[in-house]
Chains A and B, each alone.
Chain A
């Protein structure tokens, strides 16, 4: 989509040789960051195992994983994960579509920006959770209001990211497009889109993070399934291991979906100086 010729595919030698020395630190650094949680978990496991603590309020890792295994065996885990993923997926999709369209319009046409942006900025100032009662009144207590809430959370960072990225496209590069007499559409496809892509990916990742935050809020408010429901159920029935199990799964899913976006975008961003070496490593 971005390349003008097929030659974009092969990586160049200097890039590879520059990446090579960092290969060690690429694996060593995540290991290092795992060290502290690992020590804490093992330490806590040992405390409970040796009887220094009964681990009732703060269950040891083994009990958390046992809970996850139980939930998985009964098939409940998949049901809850599927419900939550579906909500996040739909809400994210709607939020991204709306944020991208309106952000692009506001970034591209200054008239639209003057019309639209003040209103969007005013709406942004409202804490998104304040919409919950209204959404429930309008859309009911079931799926629609939840997805709407998530979409609202995702919308703002994407809108801001797209608009800001378009506004900050280097005028000098646009001028190169003009000297080659690119039409409006070609200018968008060959100059604006690739120039905007890095910031867009960042805004998608921020939006996704907010999507995960809002799905918890939505499911805590009232749901009969989903990981948020597992949280609430664990609290009401006094099952801290179940709460921790849900939290662990949230962490895994959040990281995984974020990684998906990063990985899908990486082939288009290899040209960047920073990507994957300074920022990603």
Chain B
């Protein structure tokens, strides 16, 4: 289990990006974190990844404190961040340098086939489309079989069609080994399609505002009335998170159509 215990972050320039954020995430859970721009989502994810230290509070994975990048925690960024001097296959195998070559090749080949890019094994990253590149990034993060995979707005740079495709793809890959997924997004649709639970954050300083359980079976029908209901409750919560007159952790109803981002 991944536990966040009153995680706070104040940057050296004085910006308080995160204030006492606490949450517990079950192994294998898919958690979406949603909130307006600048409410500390990336800061939170980087603290979990061990890329930045929290100013106070603790991140623990199975009661092991996380202070630097950990073998069991992988991360996918908004940009694919592929290494341009390595072929697609070598990019996917980047985290497997310690394995014998034969085993590495086999794992890479399997991952390539799994993300539907077997024919691109020897291509350079620059020859890929945005969606293909992000698929390679997903494969690279998943192939060392992390227990926790963090995704920071991974599909936000893609067109709507590609985004849907990758969402389905991600779920498919997740089903293989069922790692914990923590997905930062500003797309309500994406959150409701993927997540077991949605955390809503509010800004200045970034903190937890609300959480919504998505009690829907998979695969999910994006057009079902139930799906629409969950979307609406997430939107409502987002709206309220941006209203300064609403105190934290309140849950009254109301229509949500404002431009919350």
Contact = CB atoms under 8 A, between A and B. Distances in A.
Contacts of A272: 84
Interface residues of B, number: 33
Interface stretch (B7-15, B18-26, B91-99, B153-161): B91-99
A176 B126 CA distance: 17
A179 B141 CA distance: 10
Interface string A12-55: 10110000000000000000000000000000000000000000
A3 B122 CA distance: 13
Contact of A181 (B69, B79, B126): B69
Contact of A271 (B81, B104, B124): B124
B74 A179 contact: yes
B81 A173 contact: yes
Given A12-B127, A175-B81, A7 B69 contact: no
A277 B21 CA distance: 51
Contact of A3 (B71, B86, B127): B86
B71 A181 contact: yes
A4 B51 contact: no
Contact of B127 (A4, A14, A191): A14
A211 B64 CA distance: 57
Contacts of A195: 85
Nearest to B101: A5
Given A15-B127, A180-B69, A273-B126, A172 B77 contact: yes
B90 interface: yes
Given A5-B93, A7-B90, A180-B95, A271 B105 contact: no
A181 B72 CA distance: 11
A178 interface: yes
B195 interface: no
Nearest to B146: A179
A271 B87 CA distance: 8
A12 B69 CA distance: 34
Contacts of B34: none
A2 interface: yes
B83 A173 contact: yes
A194 interface: yes
Contact of B84 (A6, A15, A271): A271
B79 A172 contact: yes
Contacts of B122: 7, 10-12
Contacts of B83: 173, 176, 191, 194
Contacts of B70: 181
A4 B83 CA distance: 11
A186 to B, nearest CB: 8
Interface of A: 2-8, 10-12, 14-15, 172-173, 175-176, 178-181, 186, 190-191, 194-195, 197, 268, 270-273
25 contacts: A2-B85, A4-B93, A5-B105, A7-B89, A7-B90, A8-B90, A12-B122, A12-B123, A12-B127, A14-B127, A15-B124, A173-B83, A175-B51, A176-B83, A180-B94, A180-B95, A181-B69, A190-B97, A194-B83, A195-B85, A197-B85, A271-B84, A271-B86, A271-B126, A272-B84
Given A178-B51, A178-B69, A180-B94, 8 more contacts: A5-B101, A5-B105, A5-B108, A7-B122, A12-B123, A12-B127, A179-B51, A179-B74
